[in-house]
């Protein structure tokens, strides 16, 4: 705590010498409150990690001195085809992202750089999709995917997300900020519209692509309801659905094993996040702010 007080600095406060004590007190209170909230916020996750490495009876009896063990992970690992689930999820996020990048790039380019009648109306229609949530249309989308013969395939899970209104919006914003001169220069050199897109626009929107990719990957890594509806077998089921099956109350919940399975399935994204925290947060920022 004294450290907290000592490091209270902020040259800003020097301007108000009369209240030299209050900023320190405020900072101490702020620190206390911020830390408390942080601990409360992270505690459930830390606890799950702790429980995953302890026997069930130690975990439920809160036995902090209990021995550490990997048994739960062994049991969990043997209980379901996790490798297959990881692979499915990996494939799924790749398919979703690849499709989204192509579709949103083309559409964003059209909205940003082409003048044609009906464009603005179309844009509003696209934005409408921000509110027609795919989640709400599960029933008819399921029927549509079945009709197209994509039931229980990775494309069945992925394609409905390809034409992301959010992505189109982002790409349009990014392309709009590209200086017209670059575009014209490329044209004078004889580039086709595709050449211009590929050589000028796409490279200049790299940060947006990165941001969008991160958001897309983390969204679809975590998606549950729609994959639950359109997958039927181990060969397509992503991690989230596999985890829910594994942890279903009917399987006679063993808390430590479920914790282990949970930790296992979030580990890749969690580790990636902790390693690339700054980029991650920046990416979210860039993607979210209009």
Partner 1 sequence: MNDLARYERRRRIMYGWMLLSPALILLSLFAFIPSAMTFWSSLFSRGTRRNPSEFVGAGNYDLLFADPTFAKVVVNNLIYAGVTIPVSIIIALAMALWANSKIPARGFVRTAYFTPTILPMIAAANIWLFFYTPGLGVLDQIGALFGFASVNWLGRPETALWAVIIVTIWKEAGFFMIFYLAALQTIPPDLKEAADIEGASRWTYTRRIVLPLLMPTTIFVAVNALINSVKLIDHLFILTKGGPSDASKLVLYYIWELAFSYFDRPQAAALTVMVLAVLGVTAAIKFIILDRRTHYQ
Partner 2 sequence: MTRHTMTASLLAGATALTALPASAQTELTMYYPIAVGGALTQVVDGLIAEFHEAHPDIRVNSIYAGNYDDTRVRVLSAIASGDSAPLSVLFSIDALDLIEQEMIIPFDQVLETDEEREWLDSFYPGLMANGQIDGQTWGVPFQRSTIVAYYNKDMFSAAGLDPEAPPANWDELVSMGLALRETGPYGIMIPSTGYPYWMFQALATQNGMELMNGDGTETYFDDPAVIEALEYWVSLSAEHDIMPSGTVEWGTLRQAFLEGQTAMMWHTTGNLTAVRDQASFDFGVAMLPEKVRPGSPTGGGNFYLFEGASDDEYRAALTLIRFLTDAERAAQWSIATGYVGVSPAAYETDVLRAYAEEFPPAIVARDQLEYSVAELSTYEGARVRDALNTAIQSALTGSATPADALAQAQSIADRLLTPYR
Per partner kind, with CB cut-offs from 5 to 8 A, the member of partner 1, partner 2, none near residue 25 is none
Q: Which is nearer to partner 1, 33 or 185 (CB)?
A: 33
Minimum CB distance to partner 1, residue 186 (Å): 15
Instruction: Indicate which single residue of 14, 25, 38, 253 sits in contact with partner 2 (rule: CB under 8 A).
Output: 253
181 sits near partner 1 (criterion: CB under 8 A): no
111 sits near partner 1 (criterion: CB under 8 A): yes
Minimum CB distance to partner 2, residue 75 (Å): 9
Minimum CB distance to partner 1, residue 147 (Å): 10
Integer Cα distance of 223 and 264 in angstroms = 17
Q: Which is nearer to partner 2, 40 or 67 (CB)?
A: 67
Of 274, 226, 251, the closest CA to residue 75 belongs to 251
- Name the one residue in this structure whose structure tokens are 């039927």: 232
Q: Measuring CA to CA, how many Å separate 93 from each of 90, 145, 272?
A: 5, 18, 15
Q: Which is nearer to partner 2, 67 or 124 (CB)?
A: 67
Integer Cα distance of 175 and 165 in angstroms = 15
- Give the footprint of partner 1 on residues 42-101 (CB under 8 A): 42, 44-45, 47-48, 51, 60-62
| Structure tokens given for 75 | 């049991």
Integer Cα distance of 189 and 186 in angstroms = 5
Residue 155 neighbours by CB under 8 Å, 6+ apart: 95
Task: Yes or no: say if 119 and 272 are a contact pair by the CB < 8 Å rule.
Answer: no
Neighbours of 205 (CB within 10 A): 23
DSSP for residue 12: G
Q: Contact region for partner 2 (CB under 8 A) — 18-26, 84-92, 204-212, 229-237?
A: 229-237
Assign residue 183 a region (left: φ > 0; alpha: ψ between -120 and 50; beta: otherwise). Answer: alpha
Per partner kind, with CB cut-offs from 5 to 8 A, the member of partner 1, partner 2, none near residue 79 is partner 2
What are the two backbone dihedrals, phi and then psi, of residue 177, each rounded to the nearest 5 degrees? -85, 0
Instruction: Indicate which single residue of 65, 83, 139, 188 sits in contact with partner 1 (rule: CB under 8 A).
Output: 139
25 sits near partner 1 (criterion: CB under 8 A): no
- Give the footprint of partner 1 on residues 212-271 (CB under 8 A): 218, 221-225, 228-229, 239-240, 243-244, 247, 253, 255, 258-259, 261-262, 265-266, 269-270
Size of residue set near partner 1 by CB under 8 A: 108
- Give the footprint of partner 2 on residues 36-95 (CB under 8 A): 56-57, 60, 78-79
Q: Measuring CA to CA, how many Å separate 139 from each of 72, 230, 240, 241?
A: 37, 10, 20, 18
């Amino acid at each position: 705590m004294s450290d907290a007080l000592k490091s209270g600095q902020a040259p800003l406060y020097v301007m108000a010498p009369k209240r030299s004590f209050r900023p320190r007190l405020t900072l101490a209170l702020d620190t206390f409150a911020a830390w408390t909230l942080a601990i409360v916020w992270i505690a459930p996750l830390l606890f799950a990690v702790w429980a995953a490495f302890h026997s069930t009876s130690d975990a439920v009896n809160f036995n902090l001195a209990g021995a550490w063990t990997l048994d739960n992970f062994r049991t969990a690992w043997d209980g379901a085809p996790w490798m297959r689930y990881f692979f499915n999820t990996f494939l799924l996020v790749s398919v979703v992202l690849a499709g989204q990048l192509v579709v949103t790039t083309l559409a964003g380019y059209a909205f940003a750089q082409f003048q044609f009648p009906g464009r603005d109306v179309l844009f509003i229609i696209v934005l409408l999709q921000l509110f027609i949530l795919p989640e709400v249309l599960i029933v008819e989308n399921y029927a549509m995917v079945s009709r197209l013969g994509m039931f229980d395939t990775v494309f069945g899970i992925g394609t409905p997300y390809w034409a992301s209104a959010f992505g189109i919006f982002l790409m349009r914003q990014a392309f709009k900020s590209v200086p017209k001169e670059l575009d014209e220069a490329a044209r004078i050199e004889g580039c086709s519209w595709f050449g211009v897109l590929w050589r000028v626009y796409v490279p200049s929107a790299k940060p947006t692509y990165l941001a969008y990719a991160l958001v897309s990957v983390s969204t679809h890594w975590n998606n549950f309801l729609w994959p639950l509806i359109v997958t039927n077998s181990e060969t397509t089921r992503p991690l989230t659905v596999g985890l829910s099956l594994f942890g279903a109350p009917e399987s006679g919940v063993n808390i430590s094993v479920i914790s282990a399975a949970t930790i296992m399935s979030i580990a890749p994204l969690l580790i990636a996040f902790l390693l690339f925290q700054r980029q991650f947060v920046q990416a979210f920022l860039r993607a979210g702010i209009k």
